[in-house]
A and B are shown apart, each in its own frame.
Chain A
Amino acid sequence: MEQPSVAPILSLNNVEVIYDYVSLAIKGVSIEVPTGGMVALLGANGAGKSTTLKAISGLLTAERGEVRRGEVTFLGQSISGMMPQDRVKLGIAHVLEGRRVFEHLTPEENLVAASAVRSRHVMKRNMDRVYGYFKRLHERRGVASGYLSGGEQQMLAIGRALMTEPKLLMLDEPSLGLAPFLVAEIFQIISTISKDEGLSVLLVEQNAVAALDIVSHGYLIENGRIVMHDSTEALKRNPDIQEFYLGGAKGKDFRDIKHYSRRKRWLT
């Protein structure tokens, strides 16, 4: 297994997360994202992908989850116990599963709201940058975001995260429910931003076919444990991965076998 040569921007060391004080969601998870690199975290429903991202962004607390063991290090500094907004300030952006745009706000207002941790001066510049990447958002900047198409909402969710000027962008199943050509378009834009601006990316996906096209490394998580870590080429050659995640020769999307009930999880 080849090790990334650049120092990691993010590393998880033996992280264990429990919900409601009892239920263990991930255990002994160790992951590294090299600075400026793109890494995928693949796995089935309930494997612990979103939990891993929440442990990094600090959003666990909102769901009565807790990092009970292990350490999350970002830019060489331990961030365990830090408030979510302080992590955003440091440069960690988490694009939530299911897009979660502010539906009653316009795209433009979504971007404004997302610049809360940055100064007013850079807001306009960042907004132009986001509109530059996602032209469609600019065309639709004045309508309530709830009325945008799924693809446009995903673009908005990513654009909103970019407003925080992240160094690490974490995406939770961005391909969910989107047509393949849109997935390709969005992934291409992410790739471009990563190359042009040195943005590091941690991409959570069930759509392994699309994800392995743009990342250099991948982790495989099953039942809350990392069971495999390798370069993209090696992962694509791996017979297990081929069978279960690349759908064998048929190239079937892993997602076809799952059923979703996704609803907003309110704190109430």
Chain B
Amino acid sequence: MDAVLLLESAVNGALVGLMYSLVAIGIVLIYKSSSVPNLAQGSMTMLGAYIVLAISTGVGAPIWLAIPLAIGVMFFVGIGIERLALRRLAGRPVIMILMMTLGIEIFLRAGTMTIWGGTSRPISLGISDAPLFLGPLLINRAYAFGAVVALAMFGLFVLFFRTRTGVVLRAISDDYTAAWSVGISVERGVALSWAMAAVVATIGGVLWGSVQGVDQSLALLLLKAVTVAVLGGLDSIGGALLAGLLLGIVEGVAGSFLDPLLGGASRDLVDAAMLILTILIRPHGLFGRHDIERI
């Protein structure tokens, strides 16, 4: 295999990896504020894409209008999920909470199947199929666009967590009893993090939907997102970004070697190996926050 092809797989892999990060960031946001591992993030991503489609085809709105409207709808879907399903579970064993998010994931997949069926529908963002030329490298335009959006979202979150509301959310994730003691409404903070996760899910859903079409298989992005979130340390947004890059590059490079030998499943194998190895070797992930030890 020649160097150009290798580099090309690495660069395209990195771009895809940033798009995984976008899905993973939703998991991180919720985990940070309430220690809930959200297994419904993949199907929330799928739902976001369906809602964009429903608004653009159903109402006939142009895509640039349908996306912000869908983001608005999903904001309240996020709040609703927290309010109706999660809030009353506060204080229950984590395993019950985990099962609840799994229940939501199944519900959303079955729900969209009932309403919109299972045939794949396209979302067009008007990005051309023709590759970008970066010297001798061919770069996928849709991936490049997705990666730029992911980076922009990351930048927004970095800024957000420095605002007063952002600091309050970080305080909740540090110690919520202490947060209560200074008058922070922990419930509102957690609801806000679900809303933000639903918003990023919509953006991720549109980008991924434009790449692979919109159907229930979008929910499978959960597997990539979980790997990225765990590798990044579960509670670190920056960690999710770097872990996404890493997973994308490894997947892209390994895939270009292994695909001819193993067929199309090699990327998922690499993904699974990364997840399993991270949990075995570095359960805190690469950038996970551990409790501060004073010397």
A interface with B by C-beta (< 8 Å): 57-59, 62, 64, 83-85, 88-89, 93-96, 100-105, 109-110, 112-117, 120, 144, 146-147, 149, 160-161, 163-164, 264-268
CB atoms of A113 and B181 under 8 A apart: no
CB atoms of A113 and B180 under 8 A apart: no
Given A58-B180, A113-B168, A120-B164, 8 new contacts (CB under 8 A)? A57-B181, A59-B181, A64-B91, A84-B183, A88-B183, A104-B174, A116-B168, A268-B35
CB pairs A–B below 8 angstroms (6 shown): A100-B181, A102-B170, A105-B170, A146-B291, A160-B182, A267-B91
Contacts between the two chains (Cβ within 8 Å), count: 105
CB atoms of B294 and A113 under 8 A apart: no
Residue interface bits B166-183, CB-to-A below 8 A is 1, else 0: 011011001111111111
Interface residue B90 (Cβ < 8 Å from any Cβ of A)? yes
CB atoms of B182 and A101 under 8 A apart: no
Interface of A is mostly: loop
CB atoms of B182 and A59 under 8 A apart: no
Given contacts A144-B292, A268-B35, A268-B93, contact A85 B174 (CB under 8 A): no
Interface residue B184 (Cβ < 8 Å from any Cβ of A)? yes
B residues less than 8 Å from A88 (CB atoms): 181-183
CB atoms of A94 and B181 under 8 A apart: yes
Considering the complex, which residues of chain B in the window 58-87 have a beta carbon less than 8 Å from any beta carbon of chain A?
none
CB atoms of B174 and A102 under 8 A apart: yes
A residues less than 8 Å from B183 (CB atoms): 84-85, 88-89, 114, 116-117, 164
**Of the candidates A64, A89, A101, A112, which one forms a contact with B178 in the assembled complex, judged by CB atoms under 8 Å apart?**
A101
Q: How far is the CB of A134 from chain B (nearest CB, A)?
A: 16
Interface residue B185 (Cβ < 8 Å from any Cβ of A)? yes
CB atoms of A100 and B178 under 8 A apart: yes
Chain B interfacial residues counted at CB < 8 A = 26
CB atoms of B184 and A113 under 8 A apart: yes
A residues less than 8 Å from B182 (CB atoms): 88, 93, 113-114, 116-117, 160-161, 163-164
Interface residue B272 (Cβ < 8 Å from any Cβ of A)? no
B residues less than 8 Å from A101 (CB atoms): 175, 178
A residues less than 8 Å from B177 (CB atoms): 59, 62, 96, 100, 264-265, 267
The 9 A-B pairs with the shortest beta carbon distances in the complex, nearest first, are A146-B292, A88-B183, A113-B171, A117-B183, A114-B182, A102-B174, A100-B178, A85-B183, A84-B180
Q: How far is the CB of A40 from chain B (nearest CB, A)?
A: 20
Residue interface bits B272-295, CB-to-A below 8 A is 1, else 0: 000000000000000001011010
Given contacts A110-B171, A120-B164, A267-B91, contact A102 B178 (CB under 8 A): yes
Q: Across the interface, name the chain A residue whose C-beta is closest to B294.
A: A147
B residues less than 8 Å from A59 (CB atoms): 177, 180-181
Q: Across the interface, name the chain B residue whose C-beta is closest to A64.
A: B91
